[in-house]
């Protein structure tokens, strides 16, 4: 982990882990240390079988203002830029590959790499002040942290171009209309709503959730034949698993009680 004060917080409640960006005085701008710490924390939590869902949030009124511009201005040479970008890539890859469902809890701006973090989550709960934007082009940069891949897949290419090239902003209503936000609530209710959704997800049979998430992600990029083959391999194991047998027993008990 990076030197100095921690840049994230990690909390656990039952099967739900809550990871929050913790630089509120900088609007949770993503420093090099934060990139490294977030990737490490996500890797550790991904390997923990007790974690059934993950919430990604930002401490304070803003989810994430994007990259730390002070650090960007101080970059010294190509190698330093590559180091920073690769650390950001590992952070987003760890989130996108997380084995159980992830929920973004967004208040205020999710900008630049912060938008990529929000979009890399499986679900998104937006507060009334939530706003997604990609300011890269306006400051002479191109989208990074996976946003060039995530944005067109979540919004469609025309909308992604408007946001990326014209400085467009998507507020909570627009995020809901685009199918990106799964719930829009008052800012004060974001944490509770994200926790409610995460607890519901964590209560599902974990092996089935992990398999379903992996299959759907692969299926979106594969052929029908490949998806059928992958489903067969996974389902054979699940059919013999304890969760499915327990579900059958509950069903039999319920039928007998009628």
Residue 74: per-residue pLDDT: 93
Q: What is the pLDDT of residues 184-195, one digit of tens each?
A: 999 999 999 999
Residue 168: per-residue pLDDT: 85
**pLDDT averaged over every residue in the chain:** 95
Q: Which residues contact 217 (CB under 8 A, 6 or more apart)?
A: none
Q: Is the separation of the CB atoms in 170 and 115 below 8 Å? A: no
pLDDT of residue 2 exceeding 50: no
For 8-202, the fitting CATH number among 3.90.226.10, 2.30.30.140, 3.30.70.980, 3.90.550.10 is: 3.90.226.10
pLDDT of residue 131 exceeding 60: yes
52: tokens are 């059934």
Q: What is the pLDDT of residues 101-126, one digit of tens each?
A: 999 999 999 999 999 999 999 999 99
Q: Concatenate the DSSP letters of all residues of 193-230 into one string.
A: HHHHHHHHHHTS-HHHHHHHHHHHHHHTTS-HHHHHHH
Task: For residue 139, give the 3-state DSSP assignment.
Answer: helix
Residue 245: per-residue pLDDT: 93
pLDDT of residue 1 exceeding 60: no
Q: Which residues contact 1 (CB under 8 A, 6 or more apart)?
A: 33, 36, 37, 40
Phi, psi of 50 (to 5 degrees): -80, -10
* Confidence grade of residue 170 (pLDDT, cut at 50, 70, 90): very high
pLDDT of residue 257 exceeding 80: no
Residue 3: per-residue pLDDT: 55
Q: Concatenate the DSSP letters of all residues of 11-31 into one string.
A: EEETTEEEEEE--GGGTT-B-
Determine the Cα–Cα distance for residues 165 and 108; give it in Å rounded to an integer: 21
pLDDT, average across residues 81-106: 97
Return the sign of the alpha-carbon dihedral for residues 66, 69, 71, 75: positive
Question: How far is the CA of 163 from the CAs of 111, 151, 158, 243, in angstroms?
Answer: 11, 9, 9, 44
pLDDT of residue 219 exceeding 60: yes
141: tokens are 């940069």
Q: What is the pLDDT of residues 234-256, one digit of tens each?
A: 999 999 999 999 999 999 998 88
Say what the pTM is.
0.94
Please report, for the chain, the start and end positions of each structural domain, with discontinuous segments joined by +: 8-202, 206-257
* Confidence grade of residue 196 (pLDDT, cut at 50, 70, 90): very high
DSSP code, position 188: G
Residue 256: per-residue pLDDT: 82
């Amino acid at each position: 982990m990076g030197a100095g004060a921690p840049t994230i917080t990690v909390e656990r409640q039952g099967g739900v882990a809550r990871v929050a960006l913790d630089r509120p005085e900088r609007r949770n701008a993503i420093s090099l240390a934060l990139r490294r710490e977030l990737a490490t924390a996500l890797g550790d939590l991904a390997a923990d079988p007790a974690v059934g869902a993950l919430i990604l949030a930002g401490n304070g009124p803003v989810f994430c203002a994007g990259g730390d511009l002070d650090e960007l201005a101080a970059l010294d040479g190509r190698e330093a830029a590559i180091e920073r970008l690769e650390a950001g890539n590992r952070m987003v890859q760890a989130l996108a590959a997380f084995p159980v469902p992830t929920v973004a809890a967004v208040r205020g701006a999710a900008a630049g790499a912060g938008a990529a973090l929000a979009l890399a989550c499986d679900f998104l709960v937006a507060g009334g002040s939530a706003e997604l934007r990609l300011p890269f082009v306006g400051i002479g940069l191109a989208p990074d942290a996976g946003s060039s891949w995530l944005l067109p897949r979540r919004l469609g290419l025309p909308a992604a171009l408007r946001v990326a090239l014209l400085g467009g902003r998507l507020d909570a209503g627009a995020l809901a209309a685009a199918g990106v936000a799964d719930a829009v609530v008052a800012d004060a209710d974001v944490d509770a709503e994200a926790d409610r959704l995460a607890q519901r997800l964590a209560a599902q049979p974990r092996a089935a959730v992990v398999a379903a998430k992996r299959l759907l992600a692969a299926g979106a990029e594969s052929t029908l034949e490949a998806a059928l083959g992958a489903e067969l391999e996974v389902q054979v194991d699940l059919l013999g698993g304890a969760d499915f047998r327990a579900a059958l027993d509950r069903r039999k008990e319920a039928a007998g009680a009628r």
